[in-house]
Chain A
């Protein structure tokens, strides 16, 4: 097969996965919910003035809703893969495309595109709403650019992580639960790990979000001294490694 033929076949699979993603109504609801929780919690935080004195407007507006958005993104990724195992549709998918790594690649592409765009919309919306409601309050504004792009990338990466988990775990509820653990446990259980806490929580999706949003939660004791963008790079590396492991398992296993 020539390179052009390969590109054509891969693009066919990407459009097929795009159709799958957009043709299930609940997927669209999850994407809408991501925008809604980020903007909604930005409103709640601003109206209740529940920011720390040293918080930035950006951090206050995006950290709470952003963490919920990460949970939704992970669940969407997990369900996009695991629901096919739950229904048995995966047999048809692999019959249509026996190159299973290509299926994973196509799914990751559409999940990343949908969640990246949605995450950006949510981050920009939350930022604007927070700035408007906290106009004149005594908080540092924080730098939204390029932070909102990093937050969008974090949302997309969490979705891809969910996809990899879904490919390995295969049970929809089990996969969604596992990826929620990946998002939340480093923050919840980090304090129990003592000196290791910055390593455990520093490059977790929620830790990266706190750093990018310049939240007052992002102190070195909890999420380490590694900067926001290097932490995002570490997260990217971890997610890529997870996808490679998932691809190896999916390729070997009977569908």
Chain B
């Protein structure tokens, strides 16, 4: 369970997240949608305590992220699959993460197997394609067998088979009762994967509803989404000055 309450973040005069409140409930895949620069990644970083909110709060299972002991055993995180040290092997990358949170070493090979990277465990990450890096990022998120998953654009760079694999994985993680928040800009894929969507644009909450309610017909999410954010965004997709 993730609870975001009146969360705001300003950088100088720019308000990047503006009084956003929503809950992410267990047992569902919740899609986190918004145009480029809407504040999705900043919201995720605020939830993880990587940036300090200017106002409001974010809690995971009732605690702020910094209060969690061994946080990776509560929350699985994928922020930027390319933000790794390319000189390290995939296995070593997962090994230090496991050690940092007291996670059994055997989990390293279990998660590599789950994401289909067991054959390249000993290769340096800089040799990986973007899709392989995403799989490694998903492996890192699964390492601590967490009840909550926060994944920022995990489908980026995945091929058709990879996207299908990710969809199945996310749905089964939610079916096990986990809380899954996944951001994406791929509407069609979101419609297939998510049960619920949270939409933000220009830092503000635009929608927070079950997908069946927002987009009752298959293929209609993109139209609904475009309409929702249209009056906030000009036709070039750039932000309007306030």
Contacts and interface: CB of A to CB of B under 8 A. Distances in A.
Interface of A: 1, 5, 8-9, 12-13, 15-17, 19-20, 23-26, 83-84, 87-89, 91-99, 254-255
B114 interface: no
B97 interface: yes
Interface string B82-116: 11111111001101110111100000000000000
Contact of A95 (B48, B84, B85, B102): B48
Given A92-B79, A96-B100, A254 B71 contact: no
Nearest to A84: B85
B45 A91 contact: yes
Interface in B32-78: 45, 48-52, 65-66, 68-72, 75, 77
A215 B89 CA distance: 44
9 contacts: A19-B96, A20-B85, A24-B85, A26-B87, A91-B50, A93-B100, A94-B49, A96-B72, A254-B45
Contacts of A254: 45, 50-52
Interface of A is mostly: helix
Given A9-B69, A254-B52, A96 B85 contact: no
Given A8-B102, A92-B140, A96-B101, 4 more contacts: A24-B88, A87-B85, A92-B77, A95-B79
B66 A98 contact: yes
Contacts of A12: 99-102
Interface of B: 45, 48-52, 65-66, 68-72, 75, 77, 79-80, 82-89, 92-93, 95-97, 99-102, 140
Contact of B96 (A23, A91, A95): A23
A163 to B, nearest CB: 16
B84 A89 contact: yes
Nearest to A106: B100
Nearest to A20: B96
Contacts of B45: 91, 254-255
Query: In terms of DSSP, what is the predominant structure of the interface of chain B?
Result: loop
B87 A25 contact: yes
Contacts of B75: 95
Report, nearest first, the 4 A-B pairs whose CB atoms are least far apart: A88-B83, A16-B100, A23-B92, A254-B51
B49 A15 contact: no
B88 A97 contact: no
Contacts of A96: 71-72, 97, 100-101
Contacts of B140: 92
Nearest to B103: A12
Contact of A19 (B52, B66, B95): B95
A94 B70 CA distance: 11
A16 B83 contact: no
Contacts of A255: 45, 50-51
A16 B72 CA distance: 13
B70 A19 contact: no
A97 B72 CA distance: 9
A170 to B, nearest CB: 14
A2 to B, nearest CB: 11
